[in-house]
Amino acid sequence: MRRFVHRLYKRKVALISVVALVILYGGMLFAELISPYEHTTVFEDHAYHPPNVSMYSDELGFRPQVQKTALVDESNYRYARIADSHIPVKLFVKGPEYKLWGLIPMDLHLFGTTEPYEGTLTWEDGGQNYPVYLFGADNLGRDMFTRILYGSRISLTIGFIGIAISLTLAIILGGFAGYYGGVTDWTIMRIAEFFILIPGLYMILFLRSVLSRDMDSGQAFIIITIILSLVGWPGSARLVRGLVHSIKREDFITAAQLQGVPPLVIIFKQIVPQMSSILIVSITLGIPGFILGETVLSYLGLGIVDPAVSWGSLLNREVTSLSNLTSFPWFLYPGLFLLVTTLAFNFLGDLLRDVLDPYYREKSG
């Protein structure tokens, strides 16, 4: 552990990665608090609104502020800024009500404006405040920043859940294969080969087409996770099998066998701890695959769909069509978050592999 921290300080990219991941996951945990609205909050007449936060104006001087706009071209969604209509952005303002972590009822948001949007009613009186678009608005006038934060709740967790399922499968099946050898080994490895044989995305699409189609967002999340895990396990199973195969010859395993400890217990209690470091590496490097798998499915419109939101669904190909991207480039922000996340996991995993996996280090000199 100390060695890991030492290396982390030496390798700046990995350090930055850790910081980025902490920020992203912190943002995910406090998504409701940090985001000024809810992911379903619609501001009418503000579809495709560009980012509107600035730091300076003659009217208000140096401070975060928002300038009001008016829709001037309804077919192309062009907005005109209204002169001398700056509204200050304030910290900890009242907004839509929510329950933090599903438990604590709150209506406080990290930032927002205090002036009413249309008419005279603010949030407290059942109306809306004037929107702050840090990253711009989507096709329904929903705040992109809010949606990215809410979307991270799916995109950032699917990796962990997916890898947990696929690794459990891999440890059980790969463990049995390596532990028993012979026919068990042969059968399990042939099954694994089938999954490796078919290109991942084709397999995902096939499974997606046989599994039911009309689902709510919770079901969709579960089904997608299961599909991705089914496609992901064989690679790890091969790794586990090889490791178990070499560890099972050790004396302490023989001792456990002679005591009559059941194989599954031996695999999980005796063998898995032995290969924990390699598993940690393969978890870190495996997570981005799940995140990207979800993104691809949602991009194709086969994954998470409205009203649920994930980074993939924000990048859905109907939303990020070429014409949309050229006129509203902030539609790519979810992609930026995706990029930072996958890069961070990969850089971190690379460092972990250097620190933890002696075999790999020997190989790469």
Partner 1 sequence: MRHLVELIQRVGRPLYYFKAKHPLAHFIAARGVSMVVILFVLGFAVFGLMSLTPGDMVDNYVRSQMLMQSEFRQSDNVYSEEAIEEVKTRLGLNLPFYEQYFQWLHQVFVERDLGRSLISRAPILFLIRDRMVNSLILNLISLFFLTIISFGLGIYFSSKVGTPLDIGATFTALFLHAFPGILLLILLQLFAAVSGLFPITGYPDFPFREAPTRFVFSYAHHIILPLIGAFLSGIGGTMRMIRATMLDQLGRPYITSLRSRGVPERRVYLAHAFRNTLNPFITSSANLFASLFSGSLILEIIFSYPGIGRLMYEAVRQEDINLVLANIMFISFLILVGMVVADILLAMVDPRIRYGRQ
Would you tell me which residues interact with partner 1 (CB under 8 A)?
13, 190, 193-194, 196-203, 205-214, 288, 292, 295-296, 299-302, 315, 317, 320, 322, 325-326, 332, 335, 338-339, 342-343, 345-347, 350, 363-365
Residue among 20 and 132 whose Cβ is closer to partner 1: 20
Sign, Cα dihedral of 106, 108, 114, 115: negative
Burial class (CB in 10 A: 0-12, 13-18, 19+), 312: buried
- 158 to each of 71, 171, 290, 341, how far by Cα in Å? 38, 19, 7, 13
We find the least distance from the C-beta atom of residue 137 to partner 1, in angstroms, to be 20
Residue among 112 and 289 whose Cβ is closer to partner 1: 289
Residue among 87 and 278 whose Cβ is closer to partner 1: 278
We find the least distance from the C-beta atom of residue 209 to partner 1, in angstroms, to be 4
We find the least distance from the C-beta atom of residue 123 to partner 1, in angstroms, to be 35
We find the least distance from the C-beta atom of residue 255 to partner 1, in angstroms, to be 32
* Percent helix / strand / coil, the chain, rounded to 5: 60, 15, 25
Residue among 42 and 207 whose Cβ is closer to partner 1: 207
What beta strand segments (E) does the chain contain?
Answer: 53-57, 61-73, 78-88, 90-100, 104-112
We find the least distance from the C-beta atom of residue 239 to partner 1, in angstroms, to be 14
We find the least distance from the C-beta atom of residue 257 to partner 1, in angstroms, to be 29
We find the least distance from the C-beta atom of residue 208 to partner 1, in angstroms, to be 6
Of 74, 76, 55, nearest to 66 by C-alpha is 55
Q: Are 86 and 57 in contact (CB under 8 A)?
A: yes
Residue among 199 and 358 whose Cβ is closer to partner 1: 199
Q: Are 154 and 338 in contact (CB under 8 A)?
A: no
Using DSSP, how many helices (H) and how many strands (E) does the chain show?
15, 5
End-to-end CA distance of the chain: 22
Burial class (CB in 10 A: 0-12, 13-18, 19+), 73: exposed
Q: Are 196 and 266 in contact (CB under 8 A)?
A: no
Residue among 211 and 222 whose Cβ is closer to partner 1: 211
Residue among 70 and 198 whose Cβ is closer to partner 1: 198
